[in-house]
Amino acid sequence: MEEILKYFPEEINKIIKKFLETSTNAGKLETNDIQEIRIRVSRSIILKLRQADLIIDYKITEKEILQILERICENSIYAYKNQISEGYITVKGGHRIGVTGTGVIEDGKIINIKYISSLNFRIAREIKGCGTNILRQMICQEKDTIYNSIIVSPPGRGKTTILRDIIRQISNGAVEIGLNGKNCGVVDERGEIAACFHGIPQNDIGIRTDIIENVSKSQGIIMLIRSMSPEIIACDEIGTKEDVEAIKLAICSGVKGIFTMHGENLEDIKNRKEVGELIENKIIQKIFFLP
């Protein structure tokens, strides 16, 4: 939590710490329960837990939002312009801060966001071993590889955390459950899997993993196939026609794949025409639904 709170002005830092201490002593939460800290101009601070929100009665000012953003950007907001235009900034520790405000448009593309009105601190946590049960079912032991798989769940259920752990185990090798280490390629379009900070992964994704970030999944998959000869490719939240075409190319090239997508059931997958095609044509061999 200290990694997050250091970005807040001293007064807000003290208020949040006091609130956390009081709530913890009252048995309302443990620090590890907090998934997000949301701050919005002229509104209260909200600590988002898995099942509830805790509200701190402190109204954030526009000036304080700017101060926080300057600290996040190491006093050089311009240097983070590209990340801000994508709507988020990744900081040390793998935490991601969502940014909203007024978009600056040029040639039909967002090139910056001004008048920042909201920041959402998404707190990164690694849970090593959380993907083991799914990985056991994903392994094709006769061929020392995995089945092409999709992990499906609504937002906020932990599919990215599980994907990250599965990649780590495949990359390092999970001999105890029947899989030798494999070269993995990760397309980290939004920086949520490896959470690179200045090019260095903040999350443990294994010793045989190569990462390409801040490019589209379709571009990244093709680039990895051409340059890094991966045995396994992984990416988060597939869904577009371009994603599916790149996945087909990878699998036809002999590469196995692990992907995630939003949804609750098989019908949700089939309603996404492009992804449904992967299922109907048996390109995807295993589907895992998270409760």
What pLDDT is attached to residue 76?
Answer: 87
CA angle, residues 36, 42, 45, in degrees to nearest 5 = 25
Regarding whether 148 and 19 lie in a shared domain, the answer is no
Residue 190 and residue 88 in contact, taking contact as beta carbons nearer than 8 Å:
yes
What pLDDT is attached to residue 251?
Answer: 94
Regarding whether 103 and 247 lie in a shared domain, the answer is no
Regarding whether 97 and 203 lie in a shared domain, the answer is no
Of the candidates 50, 185, 173, the one whose C-alpha atom is nearest the C-alpha of residue 123 is: 50
Regarding whether 260 and 140 lie in a shared domain, the answer is yes
Q: What's the total number of domains in the chain? A: 2
Could you tell me which residues come within 8 angstroms of residue 127 by beta carbon, excluding any fewer than 6 positions away?
158, 161, 165
- Exposed, middle or buried: residue 203 (CB in 10 Å: 0-12, 13-18, 19+)? buried
Regarding whether 278 and 173 lie in a shared domain, the answer is yes
C-alpha to C-alpha distance for 234 and 163, rounded to whole angstroms:
8
What pLDDT is attached to residue 186?
Answer: 97
What pLDDT is attached to residue 31?
Answer: 66
Question: What are the 10-residue block averages of pLDDT along the chain, 291 residues in total?
Answer: 90 92 77 87 92 91 94 88 86 88 88 91 89 96 93 90 96 92 94 84 94 92 96 94 94 95 90 88 94 84
Regarding whether 165 and 284 lie in a shared domain, the answer is yes
Residue 176 and residue 188 in contact, taking contact as beta carbons nearer than 8 Å:
no
127 in a domain, yes or no?
no
Q: Could you tell me the residue range of the domain that residue 237 belongs to?
A: 132-289
pTM, whole model, 2 decimals?
0.79
Residue 288 and residue 149 in contact, taking contact as beta carbons nearer than 8 Å:
yes
- What CATH number corresponds to the domain at position 37? 3.30.450
Could you tell me which residues come within 8 angstroms of residue 6 by beta carbon, excluding any fewer than 6 positions away?
13, 71
**Which of 122, 151, 179 delimits the end of a domain?**
122
Regarding whether 149 and 68 lie in a shared domain, the answer is no
**Which of 92, 122, 152 delimits the end of a domain?**
122
139 in a domain, yes or no?
yes
